[in-house]
Amino acid sequence: MSQVLVTGGTGFIGSWCVLTLLEAGHTVRTTVRDLRREPALRSWLHAAGPFDDDRLTVVRADLEHPEGWDDAVADCDHVLHVASPTLRHTPANDDDLVVPAREGVVRVLRAARDAKVRRVVLTSAFGAIGIGHPPRSTPFTEEDWTDLDSDIPPYQRSKTLAERAAWQFVEEEGDGLEMTAVHPVGVLGPLLGPDDPPSLRLVRRMLEGRVPACPPFGMGYVDVRDVADLHVRAMTDAAAAGERFLAVAGHSLRVVEMARILRDRLGERAAKAPTRELPVRLTRALGVVNPELRLLRHQLGRDLDATSAKAERLLGWRARPIEDTIAETAESLLAHGIGR
């Protein structure tokens, strides 16, 4: 088995990647920005499944600073670069997200190259593929890139620019370093700990009754456990070198359909979930005063469909039914006291 570095081990995707690797028998080193979080991370992981404690090492490293990265990647065979700057509120300036994401990924790749790491798996996003395009009838694939000339939100811009910088570095300065990019759509699924990831915010607000009506759009969703599984497949399969892989469970899902699934599967515990969809024109008008709705302006009235056919064909990856994931997401939030 390999020794693997996972950046951002306390994050939603990162923690599941750590657990998946440990369960597969790998030795894992993971980075956190604050070592005071190590006891909580170990507790979450042990609660989810047994593993030898000595196969997990937690080290401090921050994407915005050079210190610690050479030590973090030392003697590692592979790197899963999951960490990415995120803000829980809309940034005042795109560079608040773009600069640390772009500089951070190059920092990790440079350290990996110098340490003779075999392959880096980069966690990108659908936001680097399907934003800023005119309406289309065909699903997005790995051949697509988000249109940076469009007025796109800061997070999607940061993911696109970071991934482009990563591929450029590997091509021009990689010295044989392999890279694969994984592109999840909206990531749902159970929590390992009591954190409240931004990707689960919509489900939480539905349970709380804070979504009186659904914004009019559809997009793809995927289970965090399947995202972690795809990372490990992309790390180990020779066919994955130099490739991009979308991670999506089935077709796009309207927000109002997600609300219906919550009510059907959880009954009274999801009684506050909305039952109707807002008209597009009204949603645009509300976006003038609501920053979160304004960020959805490119999606309104559309179904952003994507396909995971490539991951299924090349890596044998399969996603679990999204209806089960939505229900388990809600159950997990409620069990952690979130969304009541």
- pLDDT reading at 201 higher than 70: yes
Tell me the torsion sign for CA atoms 180, 254, 157, 188.
negative
The ranges assigned to domains in the chain are 3-191+220-249+305-320
Angstrom distance (rounded) from CA 131 to CA 134: 9
Q: What pLDDT score does 76 carry? A: 98
* pLDDT, mean of residues 171-192: 98
DSSP 306: B
250 backbone φψ class: left, alpha, beta (φ>0; ψ -120 to 50): left
Q: Which two tokens stand for residue 51?
A: 């593993």
Name every residue whose Cβ is closer than 8 Å to that of residue 115 and which is 6 or more positions away in sequence: 70, 73, 74, 75, 76
- pLDDT reading at 88 higher than 60: no
Q: What pLDDT score does 229 carry? A: 98
* pLDDT, mean of residues 142-150: 96
Angstrom distance (rounded) from CA 340 to CA 96: 32
Q: Are 200 and 186 in contact (CB under 8 A)?
A: no
Angstrom distance (rounded) from CA 197 to CA 204: 10
- pLDDT reading at 92 higher than 60: no
Average pLDDT score over the chain: 94
Q: Are 322 and 253 in contact (CB under 8 A)?
A: yes
* pLDDT, mean of residues 154-168: 95
Neighbour-count burial of 288, counting CB atoms closer than 10 A to its CB (0-12 exposed, 13-18 middle, 19+ buried) = exposed
Q: What pLDDT band is residue 85 in, cutting at 50, 70 and 90?
A: confident
Q: What pLDDT band is residue 91 in, cutting at 50, 70 and 90?
A: low
Reduced to 3 states (helix: H, G, I; strand: E, B; else coil), residue 29 is strand
pTM: 0.96
Domain 3-191+220-249+305-320 grouped into CATH 1.10.4030.10: no
- pLDDT reading at 313 higher than 90: yes
Q: Are 215 and 300 in contact (CB under 8 A)?
A: yes
- pLDDT reading at 179 higher than 80: yes
Unique residue bearing structure tokens 């979504």: 211
Cite the active site residues: 159
Q: What pLDDT score does 315 carry? A: 98
Q: What pLDDT score does 95 carry? A: 79
Q: What pLDDT band is residue 285 in, cutting at 50, 70 and 90?
A: confident
